[in-house]
Amino acid sequence: MPEIERSDEEWRQLLSADQYTVLRQAGTERPWSGKYVDEHADGTYHCAGCGAELFDSSTKYESGCGWPSFYAANGDEVVDHIDDHSHGMRRTEVRCHRCGSHLGHVFDDGPAPTGQRYCMNSLSLDLHARPHDA
């Protein structure tokens, strides 16, 4: 059960139409279209729905899949893994634990140390860049 619950109307007011499709209807943005695919800034990626801290930029890597990829979440408690059998495939959906928003999917073909590839939609994320020392 998500910690933050909002009505459908509240979500529609809070999110852009594209974000609503991804976060609340488990949509997927087109590959290579997201703003964070080629992002290399140092910082923390937060849930675009509720602001929960999900991924650190130190775990982001170039997977070549067309979506921002991370090899680990910021702890086991920040995301939920859900069996997904849609579209004739067997996958593991990733949702924000705090608000239940769809983030993307996780696969077991990532790099060490975890072997996981968290393949996330840019629309589900909000990067909070860390300031650089002058």
**Active-site residue, from 47, 50, 99, 119:** 119
The dihedral built from the CA positions of residue 23, 25, 28 and 29, taken in this order, carries a sign that is negative
Short-list 102, 6, 104, 96, CA closest to 46 = 96
d(CA 39, CA 68): 8
Q: Work out the end-to-end distance of the chain between its first and last CA atoms, rounded to an integer number of angstroms.
A: 43
- Tell me, yes or no, if 119 is annotated catalytic: yes
Active-site positions read 119
